[in-house]
Amino acid sequence: MNRGTKIKGLTLAEIEYVAHDLAQKIMAWNEPIPEFKTRRPSILEIMPMGM
């Protein structure tokens, strides 16, 4: 890396996009993953035991 090169910080929107895109590609098991913006941020979703 060039010493004069600066690394750009990521925005929350960019992180949400990447996380959602990866989840759709990697975690597909016959259940659609809704758009990130439709999620309720105050609710922690927990998978049932044994999954």
Encode the chain in three state secondary structure: CCCCCCCCCCCHHHHHHHHHHHHHHHCCCCCCCCCHHHCCCCCCCCCCCCC
Q: Residue 27 has what pLDDT? A: 76
Give the pTM: 0.47
Q: Residue 29 has what pLDDT? A: 73
Question: pLDDT tens-digit profile of 1-51?
Answer: 567 788 889 998 898 889 888 888 887 677 777 777 777 766 656 656 554
Domain regions of the chain by residue span: 10-36
Q: Residue 46 has what pLDDT? A: 61
The b/e string for 5-29 (b: 16+ C-beta within 10 A; e otherwise) is: eeeeeeeeeeeeeeebeeeeeeeee
Give the span between the Cα atoms of 35 and 31, in whole angstroms: 13
Q: Residue 11 has what pLDDT? A: 92
